[in-house]
Amino acid sequence: MTRARAALTILTDGPHAFVRQGDAVLSRRIIPDTAALPRARLRYVPPDPKLVDLSFAGRLRPGDPSLAAIATARPGDAVHLIRDGDRWRIDNAQGQTLARLSRAFAPPEGTAFLRGEVTAILTWRREDGDEDYHHLLRRDAWEVVLPELVFETDTATIRAGQQDS
C-alpha cells in the first residue's frame, strides 16, 4: 500500500479496517470463480495449542509407542488426520499416534482432509496444566506436536455455493 500513487484496489469480504462506507470509488459485490483459483479451495488450520490435547503424552504409560513416535517427530513430517470415536487424532506416516486433538477441534464444514505436517513441537509441563488433572499425569514434562492441517473444499460444496449466488 505504501507504493500506490494513483489508485489502490482493496478486495474485501465484509468490513475492512482501511475502508469506510462511502470511501470506495467503486463498490461492488462479486462472487469469485473458485474453479479458476485452485488454491481458493484450500482451507488451512494453522498450528494452535488450543486445538490439541496438551496433556495427551503426559498421560501415556512408560513405553507407549506414541512417546517414541513423538520423540522422533520433526517439523515438516507428514501427518494424517484420523477419526477416533468422538475425537480426532494425528498419526505419522507409519500410523503411530503423535497427538490427540481437543474436543473443540472440528474439520472445516464442507471440506475433506488433504494433507498435514508437523509444524511445531512444544515442551509442556505438569505445572502448565490444570491442577485438578495432575493426578492423571505420568510424567513431569513431555512434548506436544502441533500440526498444520490443510483441507480442500469438496466440489459439491463449491457447486452449492455457486448456485446460491
Q: Is 125 inside a domain boundary?
A: yes
Dihedral over Cα of 99, 105, 110, 116: its sign: negative
Which pLDDT score, from 0 to 100, does residue 95 have?
A: 97
* Segments forming the whole domain that contains residue 92: 38-164
pTM, entire model = 0.71
DSSP annotation of 23: T
Q: Is 150 inside a domain boundary?
A: yes
pLDDT along the chain (165 residues), means of 10: 70 71 67 65 92 96 97 98 96 98 94 96 93 93 97 65 45
Q: Is 7 inside a domain boundary?
A: no
Residue 142's contacts (CB-CB under 8 Å, 6 or more residues apart) are: 57, 58, 67, 70, 123, 124
Dihedral over Cα of 30, 33, 34, 40: its sign: negative
Q: Is 122 inside a domain boundary?
A: yes
Q: Which CATH number does the domain housing residue 56 bear?
A: 3.30.70
Q: Is 30 inside a domain boundary?
A: no
CA dihedral 12, 18, 23, 26 (to 10 degrees): -30
Q: Is 13 inside a domain boundary?
A: no
Adjacent-strand bridge partners of 6? none
Which pLDDT score, from 0 to 100, does residue 27 have?
A: 67
Which pLDDT score, from 0 to 100, does residue 20 have?
A: 72
Dihedral over Cα of 89, 120, 137, 98: its sign: positive
Which pLDDT score, from 0 to 100, does residue 39 have?
A: 63
Measure the CA–CA gap between 92 and 82, rounded to whole angstroms: 10
Which pLDDT score, from 0 to 100, does residue 163 have?
A: 45
Which pLDDT score, from 0 to 100, does residue 91 have?
A: 98
The total domain count for the chain is 1
Which pLDDT score, from 0 to 100, does residue 48 have?
A: 94
Measure the CA–CA gap between 106 and 87, rounded to whole angstroms: 9
DSSP annotation of 6: S
What Rg do the C-alpha atoms of the chain give, in angstroms?
21
